[in-house]
Amino acid sequence: MRAKERIKTLLIVLLSVSAVGLGLGTGLFDGAIRSMGFYATIEEMLLPEATPQHAVVSAARPTAALASLGPDTAYGHRWDGPASVGVIDLYGQFFGILGEAFGSSGPPIPVSRADWEATLSNPGVFFRYDLELPGSVLTRWFGTEPGAIAQPLQMLYLSVHSGRVYLYFMGGDNLPHRAATAVRAEDILEILHTLTPNGARFGFQATADPALDPNTILLPRYDQIPTVLEQSAIGGIYRNLDELLTRLHITALARSMDEGGTRIFVEEGATLRISEDGVIHYLYRGDAPRITTGESAPDLWEAIELARQIADILALTSGAADIYLTEFDQQGDTFTIRFGYYIGSLPIWTDVPAAQVTISGRYVTEVTLFARNYYQTDLFSAVLPEIQATAAAGDIPLRLAYAPADTVDGNPVQTGTEFRARWTLGAVGEGGRHG
């Protein structure tokens, strides 16, 4: 009896192996196999994807948020702590409402600085980005049709006043504007009622010192930010080599060679170099279409999105860090778009961007990726309150960021592997919007 059972089991195994082999021979599963990466393990393939409670997929995200719950009562954050509703979670909760606000906005009108500061005390929510972004680009990230707001902005506030919701915004010119929206006040108030005040406030509410940015978000404590360690991610890049080649449209027909520790792929005018130090460089100088934006040259949003899809390959190996837009430049039909590493809403200050993508006309002509891996430690940085840090620095604008531990006054002395949260001078994204 046992012999028959063993024979039956053997037949089942052989039939299963045969079925898999026939399936692979048809080529039906080639795409799925290629997307898993050549070096992926069975364990890695079976791991469930981590999906945040309020997922946000866009090239840029705010790095500071404050929800005004009433006069002198607010909840705010400058990073995403493990035990609190941080910036990205708050942004996710309001993401759909922001889309509705931009999509239904009326013509914006200028308002005074006094009106801007007064409305920040009304119930509502404030978000601040690291760089100026055109309203037309933000609207498309929110998934709605462009409304009346097209000018660049860096700060926005959804304000509830007299039963209506208004969208206030301000760019680098520090000229505030206001636009009426069709958002229901109840939708905002419902979220605000779930938040607990934590003592956050705006700079202008705490001091009249001109050295302090009046729109900065002041927090009562800055001592719970973990130290971050950096290491090369070249091993992870090779484990995901198939995905990298797919993103850059390098096919199996490409010639491959090694040159002094650098892996080189060459195919029809395109050259891809992968260095041992984690620098990946793609250069296209051919005539045959490769990474194309379509039948016509892209607009800014399309260029950023194409660059994001390429830069996102770094997310497979970046560990605790995310990759977000830090700067873009447009000269005629050529876009240069840069991305940086962020952890918990704080930029990681390095001397090179995480990714730089150049798009000329309809084609991606150059890509540079700096593959690094970051992980948080059990050590925490003690950060001075911003008012004290500003007083110590004088009238120099400060940015809260992860900076190398071996710095002097925020300027790197040499490449370090340990990064700590601190007030720095001119952190990533300082250049903002150009072109």
The structure tokens listed for 388 are: 């004290």
- Residue 33 resides in a domain: no
Residues 236, 321: contact at Cβ < 8 Å?
no
For residues 339 and 425, membership in a common domain is answered with yes
Per-residue pLDDT, averaged over 186-193, amounts to: 96
pLDDT digit string, tens, across residues 314-365: 999 999 999 999 999 999 999 999 999 998 888 998 888 999 999 998 889 9
- Residue 183 resides in a domain: yes
Residues with Cβ < 8 Å from 202, sequence gap 6 or more?
66, 117, 120, 214, 215, 216, 217, 218
Beta-bridge partners for 263? 258, 274
For residues 230 and 150, membership in a common domain is answered with no
Q: Is the pLDDT of residue 241 over 80?
A: yes
For residues 306 and 317, membership in a common domain is answered with yes
The structure tokens listed for 399 are: 């940015």
CA angle 219, 220, 221 (to 5 degrees): 95
The structure tokens listed for 376 are: 């948080």
For residues 432 and 309, membership in a common domain is answered with yes
**pLDDT confidence of residue 43:** 28
Q: Is the pLDDT of residue 406 over 80?
A: no
By CB neighbour count within 10 A (0-12 exposed, 13-18 middle, 19+ buried), where does 223 fall? exposed
By CB neighbour count within 10 A (0-12 exposed, 13-18 middle, 19+ buried), where does 57 fall? exposed
- Residue 341 resides in a domain: yes
pTM listed for this prediction: 0.80
Tell me which residue range forms the domain holding 173. 64-220
Q: Is the pLDDT of residue 143 over 90?
A: no
List the one residue out of 312, 157, 325 whose CA is nearest residue 244.
312
**pLDDT confidence of residue 265:** 94
Report the alpha-carbon distance of residue 423 to residue 398 in Å, rounded. 6
Q: Which residue has the tokens 């906005």?
A: 105
Query: Max alpha carbon distance in the chain (Å)?
Result: 90
For residues 214 and 228, membership in a common domain is answered with no
**CB-CB neighbours of 38 under 10 Å:** 13
pLDDT digit string, tens, across residues 19-65: 444 444 443 333 333 333 322 222 232 222 333 333 345 688 898 99
Q: Is the pLDDT of residue 393 over 80?
A: no
- Residue 6 resides in a domain: no
pLDDT digit string, tens, across residues 363-392: 899 999 999 999 888 888 778 778 877 777
Residues 405, 416: contact at Cβ < 8 Å?
yes
CA distances from 277 to 262, 371, 372 (A): 9, 8, 9
User: H-helix or E-strand containing 155?
Assistant: strand 152-161
Report the alpha-carbon distance of residue 261 to residue 263 in Å, rounded. 7
**pLDDT confidence of residue 226:** 87
Of 185, 220, 255, the domain-final residue: 220
Q: Is the pLDDT of residue 408 over 70?
A: no
φ/ψ region of 347 (left if φ > 0, alpha if ψ in -120 to 50, else beta) reads beta
Of 193, 220, 247, the domain-final residue: 220
Q: Is the pLDDT of residue 157 over 90?
A: yes
Position 286: which residue type? G
pLDDT digit string, tens, across residues 199-226: 999 999 988 877 788 999 988 877 678 8
- Residue 140 resides in a domain: yes
List the one residue out of 203, 159, 156 whose CA is nearest residue 70.
159
- Residue 17 resides in a domain: no
Q: What percent of the chain has pLDDT over 70?
A: 78
For residues 431 and 353, membership in a common domain is answered with yes
Number of domains into which the chain is organized: 2
List the one residue out of 205, 201, 160 whose CA is nearest residue 183.
160
User: H-helix or E-strand containing 151?
Assistant: none
Report the alpha-carbon distance of residue 169 to residue 110 in Å, rounded. 10
- For 180, the 3-state DSSP assignment is strand
Report the alpha-carbon distance of residue 312 to residue 59 in Å, rounded. 9
Burial 237-269 (b: 16+ CB within 10 A, else e): bebbbbbbbbbbbbeeebeeeeeeeebbbebee
CA angle 420, 426, 432 (to 5 degrees): 120
Residues 225, 77: contact at Cβ < 8 Å?
no
State the DSSP string of 202-244.
Answer: EHHHH---TTS-TTPEE-S----EEEEEEEE-HHHHHHTHHHH
Q: What percent of the chain has pLDDT over 90?
A: 46
For residues 138 and 110, membership in a common domain is answered with yes
**CB-CB neighbours of 409 under 10 Å:** 8
